[in-house]
Amino acid sequence: QKEVEQDPGPLSVPEGAIVSLNCTYSNSAFQYFMWYRQYSRKGPELLMYTYSSGNKEDGRFTAQVDKSSKYISLFIRDSQPSDSATYLCAIGSWGKLQFGAGTQVVVTP
């Protein structure tokens, strides 16, 4: 069993819809949680960082962490075609990040 599970998709949504992404993890020692966006042939771009359970909002992005269920989510409101990319969850402890497989998201006009 992988330490971090993420559905690779692809996930196709119409423009303006809410994109819902999630990851589950198995190791309760993980201490902090990040979401990255990666366009083809580019480096990952940090979208959200949190280390506590609950919600964190930044513009159109909302990250949720439920440590008791070992479950994290990312929601993208009012999705745009420019949001089409691969979204990676990353869960870490003491400098060692475990990435999910990445979910490919396609937002169609």
Partner 1 sequence: DTEVTQTPKHLVMGMTNKKSLKCEQHMGHRAMYWYKQKAKKPPELMFVYSYEKLSINESVPSRFSPECPNSSLLNLHLHALQPEDSALYLCASSQGDGLNTEAFFGQGTRLTVV
In single-letter form, the type of residue at position 59 comes to: G
Q: Which is nearer to partner 1, 42 or 77 (CB)?
A: 42
Q: Which is nearer to partner 1, 14 or 41 (CB)?
A: 41
Instruction: Give the length of the chain.
Output: 109
Give the nearest distance from C-beta 6 to partner 1 in angstroms: 8
Give the nearest distance from C-beta 79 to partner 1 in angstroms: 22
Q: Please report, in angstroms and rounded to a whole number, the separation of the first and last CA atoms in the chain.
A: 37
Lookup result for tokens 């409101």: 77
Give the nearest distance from C-beta 54 to partner 1 in angstroms: 17
Q: What burial class does residue 102 get, using C-beta atoms within 10 Å of its C-beta: 0-12 exposed, 13-18 middle, 19+ buried?
A: buried
Binding-site ranges for partner 1 (CB under 8 A) = 31-32, 34, 36, 41-46, 49, 51, 88, 90, 92-97, 99-102
Q: What would you measure as the largest C-alpha separation in the chain, in angstroms?
A: 41
Q: Which is nearer to partner 1, 88 or 107 (CB)?
A: 88
